């Protein structure tokens, strides 16, 4: 474990990149190597035709049950990154996620911009409060963390790693988090399918009606293109990505 978190750079970075059609996004080898030191992932191996489906859950908009139904029907694993408020308000949905074999990840108790907390103990607390509640209910600790709004610092990543987490970023996302903007499932398909690539970690927001309605079609499309959906538990260790 790190002994002096204050010696680790706390400059904030927002996770963003240029997307490429049919290929991984533009992320430098230097950044990839730096992230790997802190057990942080944004995709799997370029060699494997695998996809990793992840959903962020800050609040419920009525579509998570439909998403879970589709995942169950197609036998596809996913990871759901939840906040403390979501844990408190949606026990039945979380119970389904767990019972149906999905990963429930830590998206922090209060959804703060973690690097702005500066104090490593406060960063730990944001992860620990939610993990304690989860452990009390399910007898297991959370293993994966996603920083709110994709905002992180090396200090944040170091704290998360020392607390036993792999930090999961992503290699695909689109503007799908506005709950009142409904464009239809074909719009979602047009936004997602061109950018599928080997090892992609897909970030979708479960508040999107478009995503919920497109999910079955998306799974069919990806499988027809030769992709398999894998759990984050099957991510290759970082060294193999570099």
CA distance 51 to 198: 7
- Count, residues in the chain: 242
- Residue 1 corresponds to which tokens in the numbers above? 């474990």
The contacts of residue 78 (CB under 8 Å, 6+ apart) are 53, 54, 55, 67, 71, 102, 103, 229
Burial of 178 (0-12, 13-18, 19+ CB in 10 A): exposed
- Concerning whether 88 is annotated as a catalytic residue, the answer is no
Burial of 44 (0-12, 13-18, 19+ CB in 10 A): buried
Helix residue ranges per DSSP H, the chain: 29-37, 64-74, 84-89, 91-99, 120-138, 154-162, 185-192, 209-224
Which is the catalytic residue, given 102, 131, 205, 210? 205
Which is the catalytic residue, given 56, 131, 176, 210? 56
- Concerning whether 131 is annotated as a catalytic residue, the answer is no
The contacts of residue 69 (CB under 8 Å, 6+ apart) are none
Compute CA distances 42 → 3, 67, 183, whole Å: 26, 23, 27
Question: Which residues form the catalytic set?
Answer: 56, 205
């Amino acid at each position: 474990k790190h002994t002096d978190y204050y010696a680790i750079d706390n400059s904030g970075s927002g996770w963003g990149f240029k997307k490429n059609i049919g290929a991984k996004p533009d992320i430098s080898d230097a950044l990839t190597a730096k992230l790997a030191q802190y057990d942080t992932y944004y995709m799997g191996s370029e060699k494997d035709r695998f996809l990793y489906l992840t959903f962020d859950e800050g609040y419920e908009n009525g579509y998570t049950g439909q998403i879970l139904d589709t995942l169950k029907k197609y036998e596809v694993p996913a990871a759901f990154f939840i906040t403390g408020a979501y844990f408190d308000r949606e026990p039945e949905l979380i119970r389904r996620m767990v019972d149906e074999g999905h990963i429930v990840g830590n998206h922090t108790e209060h959804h703060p911009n973690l690097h702005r907390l500066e104090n490593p103990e406060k960063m730990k607390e944001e992860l620990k409060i939610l993990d304690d509640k989860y452990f009390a209910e399910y007898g297991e600790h959370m293993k994966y963390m996603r920083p709110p709004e994709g905002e992180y610092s090396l200090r944040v990543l170091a704290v998360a790693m020392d607390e036993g987490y792999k930090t999961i970023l992503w290699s695909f996302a689109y503007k799908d988090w506005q709950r009142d903007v409904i464009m239809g499932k074909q719009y979602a398909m047009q936004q997602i399918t061109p950018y599928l690539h080997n090892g992609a970690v897909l970030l979708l927001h479960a508040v999107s009606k478009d995503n919920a309605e497109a999910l079955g079609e998306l799974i069919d499309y990806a499988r027809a293109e030769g992709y398999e959906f894998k759990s984050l538990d099957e991510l290759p260790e970082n060294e193999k990505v570099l």
